[in-house]
Structure 1
């Protein structure tokens, strides 16, 4: 099939001025003459990922350009190769160190040719008809002055070079004259800080365009001026910021660079918001939190099951009082998790409806009392987002999810026989006797726990002190005080406590018996009831309570155990705490046995039998 190239378009692109929006966003049929991987640095620009230089021909002339990284997959999968005919649908033209840099932002593959079309020649930049245009002043720019009051910020009128903004992924410290068009996807609070150089204020925002995202931070007077002018969800032209290497310790944004908004930074709201994404998520299920490292960040989407009132705690490091609120989240994986809001976000939180869907971006993973989540400065929270994952979760919860008994993450376990963290490991299941012998070899000076996987049957549950009265906010024990309950940690009075399990029970297998200790999640799995329900039965009918204890026995579970030396009344002993308890899934157990039979170990019996038959 013959293709008609847009002859003369390379010359027009090479000599275009920044105002030619139709040229940069128009469709042009061109041929790829070559593709070359240029690594992480090109034209004096350090780039966060590999880039490809592409040579495009219109049949008469050819020019060089860079391929935007979102198009790299076309090259890797060999859809875009030499002599491919493409329709270039969007371009970006920038000047880096006085050199013109053309970036192909979007293209469509039309077909493939076997050879070059025409006899194209290189465009000689020295005979270019157009000079590098001097920057024009944009319309209604917000120029941040070195003043103490944001009221002194005056808009400056100029025509903004629309269509010639710089892609976020192409920003680097080597550029000065750039403008990005991006959406604010996250905006932090205006916070106070104190260090060796003094005190001040700061806030940060995350900007996103179709090529990536970048974090920007403003300090002191600039922060006070810009803070009320930037709003989440709106699109802005941003220029004259300082690009630096990102401080990964303070940011979870996937970019090697970040922007500092100084006094000469210019920001203009853009009403042209097409082709710009909202927030990009990479969701993990609540069940998968067990596999994530502590202090890592992730995106989750879940149903808000319940939330607590605002409480106050005092930081041990800064001795400052902080407000917090805890949300309980659930999803299709059958797990629930606590997520903590802090400061004004905790105070201002209001659900849009009963049990809304909430999407969280960049929340931090913790391991307090099992896996937990917490909002940090760069996190983002959106209720009922208009995305497919939200609609699917809403439909599931309304149809059946509200009746599910959810499982909580327990304290993180580890590599068994080691000192790390992890989950139940079927391949390393140990009998109770073998596990006890290994645990007894733990040195008395060893402070870290050792983790084991085992399978055993519950034989007896101690009925005394099976649960304790707890604060619904911090889970600490509360004390009865004249008909009400007092929490010293939260410094508040409750009308009634929330009971939480604290269990001791004996388990047995073919090698022996051991005492295990478990907390709230263990009790809910064993009894299938909350601690409040069990305590109500105990106080109302002792016979029914004893029957409940008896029915919970003689059942097998898979256990993840945390073995650690403990001293009680000058008696040194090993305590076995249950980190996870899993009811047996018999299909899963049968599949595991069938897999074991296919191993060399499992084939031993068949070989012996065949040898006997040979005789």
Structure 2
């Protein structure tokens, strides 16, 4: 199939100014003649890292010129949707001047097809090396003084009127910032703003706050300290757009930020911040949502964006931080989505106290929440997280329609520790590290008595016996601590609340075995729900009503094999040192996965070994 390119478009783009919004927002049929990666060398081993950039040469059949590909389109390169001689419909782009050079950025495109050869015989429009960038044409009716002010300037001296005018026309894309540039201005929206916090270090005390700035090319985190923080904090507001210049660009400290950018901005005393009333084409916030079901694929302490229906929420409660011994306020939200999973999300501090739902079951979008492994999977707000109720985005409208039509009657599954998670010490069951019980016991016995940290093991074993005397305990429905019966009601000392009845939670001890030996394991509520396939309330009710049926449940739950992740730790009981094996994860066997693991084992040197000689020696012996 032959394609008709839009002849003359490259010439229009070559002479366009950043204000030609109609030209940059209209579709154009062009051909890619070349595609070259220009990212930094240290990132070459990591495809599509935030620093990866691609330069493209575009042709309209008559002329060709160079442009840059926006980083959100990098996947189209790695997946080979666009390559040399690909014909595209360029639907949106932007134009900026960087260090007196024109920078065209492709923002949105659609692939029309793939050609084998170049269409036409185009010639170059790009200026020769060393030549100046074309001067943007002045707007009609503007005086000559304004025309001069609109031209880019390489001077770093203070020229208030001229520099401000230039900043309003020739701003720099966020994705193009780097520590090697000093004279830049960005036009960006504040999508997140932290509280003004006090900090204390060996050097002294101070204040800081941070904001997330976003334009159509990407986002970046900016931080201000001490006097600068006090000056800029009331000036920067969430949702508003600003021109920001004269900040220092540094490598990002990923430990403190979940923003997808290799760099961050340090706002300094000479930093200029000016509100912009022109907000065209600047997004309010960008999300990359994962479903609640997909949380089981994410590692502990990673961050993600989620959107869900608020099913229920708790009152504000207080806990004592183990690290700082301070009282912390928290509130638990239960979210559901159309994957028919539910998850608990924790709000902290002022967010917990100030939370009020807009309606009975609002749609809430969260950006940058942290993944935890409590009860299988949980979520928590952190300093850089944002929460928006009923956002005006397609995902929100779709979720609202689903819930109102059928979702409010759906049954939702929680993450109860049955998934196979990975990451970190104790992060998940690891098949390559599975140990038989005897080997595991020998290693655990070598744990020093002074060692306080647990040691994690992965193993496969069969349940042989379950102690049925104390299978569960009466718990508080808020904090899960043990409650005490007082005059027909149940009181939680920790929460200082009284309940008409308790919620029972499993606390189990059971024996397991494999061909090498036997051990006793301990497990809590999530483990019991997997083993019995029933809630603890139901099992306790059966136990109190019918001993025969209860014993039958215990018997049916035995002689089943599971994969376990264990937490082995030495403790003392009656002045005797012993090893306790607590179950952190329990996974029912996936027989397809087990067979694939055996087939993989057969391909190893052990699986290819000839055991005939060993068998003969054992027989003759």
Q: TM-score range by the shorter chain?
A: 0.7 to 0.9
State whether structure 2 residue 350 is matched by structure 1 residue 364.
no
* Aligned partners of 1:460 and 1:507 also within 8 Å: no
CA gap 1:394/1:218 in 2 versus in 1, 3 angstroms? farther
**Structure 2 residue matching 1:49: 3-state secondary structure:** coil
- The 1:301–1:68 alpha-carbon spacing in structure 2 relative to 1, beyond 3 Å, is closer
Once residues 340 and 169 of structure 1 are traced to their aligned partners in structure 2, the CA distance between those partners, rounded to angstroms, is 32
Q: Which residue is equivalent to 1:541?
A: 545
Deviations 1:32-62 (A, max 9, x none): 5655433339xxxxx9523333445677766
Shift of 1:254: 0.9
5+ long unaligned stretches in structure 1: 42-46, 138-157, 609-615
Which residue in 2 is equivalent to 1:52?
Answer: 54
Look up the SS of the partner of 1:475 in the other structure: coil
Residue 67 (structure 1) aligned with residue 69 (structure 2): yes
Name the CA distance, whole Å, in 2 between partners of 1:50 and 1:595.
Answer: 36
**Which one of 416, 428, 442 corresponds to residue 408 of structure 1?**
416
- How far residue 173 of structure 1 moved from its aligned partner, in angstroms, is 3.6
1:283 alignment partner, one of 286, 290, 306: 290
Please tell me whether the aligned partners of residues 335 and 409 of structure 1 are also in contact (alpha carbons under 8 angstroms): no
Note closer, same or farther for the CA distance 1:135–1:82 as it changes in structure 2 (3 Å cut).
farther
8 Å Cα contact 2:291/2:306 also seen in 1: yes
Matched, 1:266 2:273: yes
- Deviation by residue 1:263-287 (Cα, 9 ceiling, x = unmatched): 6533435465447374221526456
Q: 1:519 aligns with which of 519, 524, 527?
A: 524
- Residue of structure 2 in register with 1:569 after alignment: 574
Partner of 1:499: 504
Kept after mapping to 2: 8 A contact 1:59/1:120: no
Q: Is the 8 A contact 2:426 2:567 kept in 1?
A: no
Q: How many residues align?
A: 576
CA deviation map 1:168-219 (0-9, x unaligned)? 2112344455444444433333444444566555433323333221123345
What's the CA shift for 1:371?
4.5
The 1:428–1:173 alpha-carbon spacing in structure 2 relative to 1, beyond 3 Å, is: closer
Paired position in structure 2 for 1:38: 38
Task: Mark the CA change 1:217 to 1:493 in structure 2 (over 3 Å): closer, same or farther.
Answer: farther
Contact in 2 for aligned 1:460/1:505 (Cα 8 Å):
yes
Q: Is the 8 A contact 2:527 2:586 kept in 1?
A: yes
Normalising by structure 2, we get a TM-score of: 0.74
Q: What's 1:147 paired with? A: none
Q: Is the 8 A contact 1:31 1:83 kept in 2?
A: yes
Measured against aligned partners, the alpha-carbon deviations of 1:405-457 in whole angstroms (never above 9, x if no partner) come to 53423899989xxx942434567666555654554455555553241312313
Q: Which of 240, 249, 258 is 1:252 aligned to? A: 258
Structure 2 stretches lacking a partner, 5+ long: 42-48, 138-146, 152-163, 614-621
Contact 2:100 2:132 in 1 (8 A): no
Whether the aligned pair in 2 keeps the contact of 1:290 and 1:409 (CA below 8 Å) is no
Kept after mapping to 2: 8 A contact 1:304/1:358: yes
1:97: which partner in 2? 99
For 1:316 and 1:236, locate their aligned partners in 2 and report how far apart those are by CA, in whole Å. 40
1:581 to 574, 580, 586: 586
Q: If the length of structure 1 is used for normalisation, what is the TM-score?
A: 0.74
Shift in alpha-carbon separation, 1:393–1:430, aligned structure 2, 3 A? farther
1:519 is displaced (CA, Å) by 0.9
What's the secondary structure of 1:408's corresponding residue?
Answer: coil
Describe how 1:156-305 pairs up with structure 2 within 5 A.
165-195=171-201, 201-219=207-225, 232=238, 234=239, 236-240=241-245, 242-245=247-250, 246-261=252-267, 264-270=271-277, 272-274=279-281, 276=283, 278-283=285-290, 285-286=292-293, 288-289=295-296, 292=299, 294-302=300-308, 304-305=310-311
SS in 2 for 1:403: coil
Q: Which position in structure 2 is the counterpart of 1:140?
A: none
Residue 341 of structure 1 deviates from its aligned partner by 1.0
The alpha-carbon deviation at position 87 of structure 1 amounts to: 5.9
1:342 CA displacement: 0.4
CA contact (8 A) 1:58 1:120 kept: no
Aligned 8 A contact 1:63 1:123 in 2: no
Task: Tell me, in whole angstroms, the C-alpha distance in 2 between the residues paired with 1:203 and 1:421.
Answer: 34
Cα distance in 2, alignment partners of residues 593 and 235 from structure 1: 58
Aligned in 2, Cα 1:338/1:429: closer, same or farther, shift over 3 Å?
same
